[in-house]
Each structure stands twice: as C-alpha cells, then as structure tokens.
Structure 1
Amino acid sequence: MFRGILIDKTDDSYEAAVQEIEESRLPEGNVTVDVAYSTLNYKDALAITGKSPVVRRFPMIPGVDLAGTVAHSDDLRYQVGDAVVLNGWGVGETHWGGLAEKARLKGEWLIPLPPAFSLQQAMAIGTAGYTAMLCVLALERHGVTPDKGEVVVTGAAGGVGSVAVALLAKLGYRVVAVSGRPEEARYLEELGAAEVLDRAEFAKPGKPLGKARWAGAVDVVGSHVLANVCATMQYGGVVAACGLAGGMDFPATVAPFILRGVALAGIDSVMRPRADRMEAWERLARDLDASKLDGISRVIGLGEAVTWAESFLTGQVRGRVVVDVGS
C-alpha cells in the first residue's frame, strides 16, 4: 500500500482526496519509482479542483512532476537506487502521476537527476523551471543576447516567471518583470529584476504596434498581455510563449510580425523530446543559482495539496510549491 491523491469522478461528483492505494493498481510501465517529492502546478490545481478537463482517465493520481529513486527497473538505463526526475509526458492526465509515494512509468519519460540538485531542489525547479529554461534556450537560439536590450517576463511572480527572472538575470540580461501583484516587487528584485511593472499596463486591448522596447520576452499569460508584448517588441525581437494564465485567446494583429520581424516561439514542455530535456536540465545545473531556490519555493505535505489547489487558481501563490509526498 502507498499514499496518494486519487481523483475520481461519477455522474454526480468529482472528488480528490488522499487515500491508501494498493500497489497492484499502479499502471503499466518498466520503471517503478519511490517518489520523494512532487509539485503543485497550475495544471495540477485544475486537475484536483476539476475546474478544467485536465484529467482524461479516472481514477487518476495527479502530479505532472516527480523526483525520487528507482525501486525496480526493466530499463537498462536505470538501476535500483538511481535518482530520477520526470516532467510532463501526460502523467497526471492520462497516466498516474507524481502526487503519491509510488509511480510506475516508462523509462524514456525519466531523466537522471543532475548531481547539482537534491530531490527537493529538483522539484523546486519542476516543470515550471524546466519550461523557463526552454524559453531561455529559445531566446538564445534566435540570437537574443544581453547586449541586444531588455527582456520582459510576464506572470513573473509565478513558478515559470520566478525561475525565468532568476535565470535571465544571472546570464546578464536586464530583466523587467511584469506582475499583477505589486506587493511582490521586492521578491522579484531579489531574484534579479531590474524593474517591476504592473500587469494592468499590458492587460487591456492595445494598439497593433506600440513603442519598441523589448529584445526578448517570456510570456506565461497569453491573451491581451501577449498581444501587447508582441506589439512593443524591438525589430527582430523574440517572444517565447508558454502559458495561458490570462486566457487562450490572442487578440493581436500581424503588424509586429510583418513590420518588425518579430518571432513568436511556442514552448511546449509536456511532449518535448528527451534530448531537449537533458539539455535544459544540464543548463539549469549550470546557470541557475541554486541558492535562490529556497526563496522561490515552499514545501507542503501531501495532505495539504488539495487545499492549496484552490489558492493556486486564484493567483495567491508565489513561486513554486513543492510537495513532500511522505508527509
């Protein structure tokens, strides 16, 4: 038996609760992991609350992230005791995920834990930090270097935004953070933001083109925020778009793209090839100041995750939420 959050749905109810689960119920996979830590992400909060149809099969253990040690392996790449990390691949949606003490998975979904990080630190990074690194890599590949100008990060006080600000600042960029929570300005400045702007400046319908300012952007909000960011990019600027916290719509024109040569780089982290994941985690080990992780994250117990999910959806959570599944 092991403890985990189990989501079940009937015609009349949708329930998520911590339960004792028989190990024989674990799904198919060639690697079994003793999970030490998971996380609470926006997608996990949607799954737990049922506010969006994230879960495709029931019953389901949520959790798009996990870090732990291999308990059994039929994959030659992994031995018992190896420390591993998983992000995405549909776990918590179509395959039982990380918010439990045990997980059975496909070996190709896992990557070795970089020696630079502990299991807890790996989840302080999690999908959010790994996605932030993918955004940074996209900016670099499109030629956005620190000497080109300012980089703006929207949703900066959230998980992706917090890590993106810390990464970009350490790499030498002048980072401008955008947040709907002005009380988080000091937090963002401690992460390396040179300036903090109110999201209200970006959240309303804007002009097709505005004053050119940004060489690069990391956007996790979407909707009008993304449209206004695109409209204020420098000539040849690059926007890495990875989220939709403000909506899935994109009420923009083609003007930034055909008049200023702006590039919009879509960032998917869920189905990213393993080689890209390895590169992103290697860069995180090199370029992320691990001492920032304590300030970015907080640790909660497994039983608290269900309650925290509601707070997550109302924008009350700063940074990263790590779940100690054994407590």
Structure 2
Amino acid sequence: MQNTVSCFQVNKNEQKEISSGLQTVPSADLPPGDVTIRVVYSSINYKDALAATGHPGVVRNFPHVPGIDAVGFVVESESDQFTVGDPVIVTSYELGVERWGGWSELIRVKPEWVVPLPEGLTLKESMILGTAGLTAAMCVNSLIQHEVPTDSGSVLVTGASGGVGSFALSLLKRCGFHPVAVTGKRSAALRLIELGAREVIGRDELEDDSKKPLLKARWSAAIDTVGGSMLSNVIRSLQPNGCVAACGNAGGADLDLTVFPFILRGVTLDGIDSAWYPIEKRTTLWLKLATDWKLPDLDSRANVIPLEQVQDTVNAMLKGEHQERTIIQISAE
C-alpha cells in the first residue's frame, strides 16, 4: 500500500482558527479498521460542507477529513466478507464525521459499514446517488411501508431542489405517486418537472403563522428535507392517515405542534436516520436503486470535479446556491 495519502484536511490551531485544504499525509495516519479502500469517487453533501468549515456540530476532532460518501476498490482486508479488488460503497455511519472521510485517496473502515457495489450501478452512478439518493429511497420506502396509496392524492416534497429532494421526486414518480415539489428557487421549476414533479409550488404557499392545530387537509403524504416550521405546517395539512418521512433540519430543529394531527387525523411522522440505517436494509435499498428503482438519467444529475475544486462548491452550498449533486473524482477508475 502507498506510504502517503492525498486528502482534503481541516485543521484547528492553538488560537482555534480553522484552516482547510489539500494535504499529503502519511498513510499511517489512517484510522483503525479491517477494510482499506482506494477511493475513486466521493461527493459533497450539506454535512460535508459544514465539516469543511470545522463546524462543531459535525466535526468532533482535528485534524479532520470530510466526506460521508465513498466508492472504490478494496486494497486491504482483514475481513472474510471482502477481498482485494472488490468494488464497494461506504455511506454515512461515522464516515466523514467522527472518522476520516471520503475526501481522501484512501479510507479505512469497519466491514459492517461496507456494501458491495451492486450489479447495475457503476462507481460513478453510486456516488451520484450517495447518501442523498439512499436517503430519498429510505423516505419513499417509508411511504410504501406505511401503505400510502399511489392514487390517494399528491405527495409533497420540501427542499425539492436539493440532493435528497430531487431524488425523491424521481423515485416517487417511478413508483407511481404524484409528487409536488416545494422550492424557494422559482428558476428551478422546469428542472424539477424534468426530474419528476407533477407540480411545483413556492415555499410561501406553505407558510402559515397561525397557531391552528390543524390546517386544510391537502397532501396524502410528504417527504420533508427541511424541518422546522415547514415540517410543522406539512404535518398540520396532511390528509387523514397521511405519513410524512422527515430527514432534515436545515429549516430548524424545533417542531411547534399539538397532538391533534396524530389523534384526530391519524397522521404518522416517520423519522429517517440515514446515518445508522441497518446494513441489511441498506444493502436491500442499494439493490433496488440498481434494479427496480434505477433512474435512467443519473449521469446528467451531477457535476464531477477534482478534489482541488471542492472549496468553491462548499462555498456555494453554504450560501444556498448549489443544486442537485456534485461528486468528486479522487482517483482513476
């Protein structure tokens, strides 16, 4: 194995000043683990953008390497589950948060975090999906498990121009639902329709500062990537026996609600935890994304950049100017 590793590293000095950029470090700095992977592609998620700034809500220790997604080839394995040369995916768990992440030529992880790359997906396609695509699949799967009928009305998707939201639109359409996109970016409306939205509405159409425990029942179900007051208003406006799969908090962590949506309309709030989703269920959903739920336009849904250009994308994402997906090519396929 190579003696040094090129990576994007975040550091904090004694004055608690944060700096970040490309570094070459000894491969001995890799954390412990039974599977070492040569990373071909990683991606940029909102959590990664926060990590790149040293955000204390994400980064626990310094120096830190962001990147909650990675795909590549096994180069060393002490696990009988994987052999050298296996193409594999690692998303979330502690990757890029508590542990050295995917913005690096090499990662070393626990075998129970590793999913074999399923036939039907290329390395690049798997990272175009990444945690965003997997989370969207988890949300759609939640609605299906809660037996939301495909013909019962519109399924709302908040934050629809983001990574999770845009994949949710496409997967909902593929599964026969009627997705309605919510976005603050009116210029994105045409693209959202191309991705699967049957309708596009502005965030202002969901705003309601009243303290009414229930609002007009409009949506059969919802996938919420925003949280905060948006999620509160969505829950209050679900139809009887509706379900919302909630997976984000960019709009806030507080939820101002009464119990009435739950006890008078039978609404379900299903929290989606993509970080610690069980490996068996995770593997099943990756297989779906490679087969029955395979999206035909994956290559058109992401920009590919080298590691040297990460900072510009991070800045755009933190300003709310980034749409869909950006993946990072770390090494050759």
Work out which of the residue numbers 61, 76, 83 in structure 1 matches 2:80.
76
SS at match of 1:311: helix
Aligned to 1:32: 36
**SS at 1:115's partner residue?**
coil
Partner deviation per Cα, 1:77-106 (whole Å, 9 max, x = no partner): 111111000111111111101011111111
CA distance in 2, matches of 1:192, 1:41: 22
Deviations 1:272-322 (A, max 9, x none): 111110121122122434322123211111111122112112211111111
1:209 aligns with 2:214: yes
Equivalent runs, 1:10-25 vs 2, <5 Å? 10-12=13-15, 13-25=17-29
> 1:180 is matched with which residue?
184
- Cα distance in 2, alignment partners of residues 260 and 24 from structure 1: 57
Corresponding residue number in structure 2 for 1:321: 326
Structure 2: which amino acid aligns with 1:221?
Answer: V
- Of residues 233-242 and 205-214 in structure 1, the stretch that sits farther from structure 2 once superposed is 205-214
SS in 2 for 1:291: coil
Specify every segment of 5 or more residues in structure 1 that has no aligned partner in the other structure, as ranges.
Answer: none
* Corresponding residue number in structure 1 for 2:11: 8
Maintained 8 Å contact 2:288/2:294: no
**Cα displacement (A) at 1:204:** 4.7
Aligned to 2:139: 135
Asked whether 1:48 is paired with 2:45, we answer no
3-state SS in 2 of match to 1:290: coil
Amino acid paired to 2:205: E
CA positional deviation for 1:9: 1.2
**Cα distance in 2, alignment partners of residues 9 and 260 from structure 1:** 50
Are the aligned partners of 2:227 and 2:250 in contact in 1 as well (CA < 8 Å)? yes
Residues 167 and 287, structure 1, Cα contact 8 Å, conserved in 2: no
Percentage identity across aligned positions? Answer: 43
Checking the alignment, whether the CA contact within 8 Å between 2:161 and 2:183 is kept in structure 1 is yes
Partner of 1:293: 298
Match of 1:155 in 2: 159
- Aligned partner of 1:240 among 245, 251, 257: 245
Q: Distance in 2 between matches of 1:138 and 1:53?
A: 27
In structure 2, the residue matched to 1:85 is 89
- 1:81-120 to structure 2, matched below 5 A, reads 81-120=85-124
| Residue 114 of structure 1: how far off its partner (Å) | 1.1
The answer to whether the Cα contact below 8 Å between 1:60 and 1:96 also exists between their aligned partners in 2 is yes
What amino acid is aligned across from residue 8 of structure 1 in structure 2?
N
Q: SS at the partner of 2:297?
A: helix
Secondary structure of 1:146's counterpart equals coil
The answer on whether the counterparts of 1:177 and 1:197 sit within 8 Å (CA) in structure 2 is: yes
Whole-Å Cα distance in 2 between the matches of residues 228 and 36 of structure 1? 41
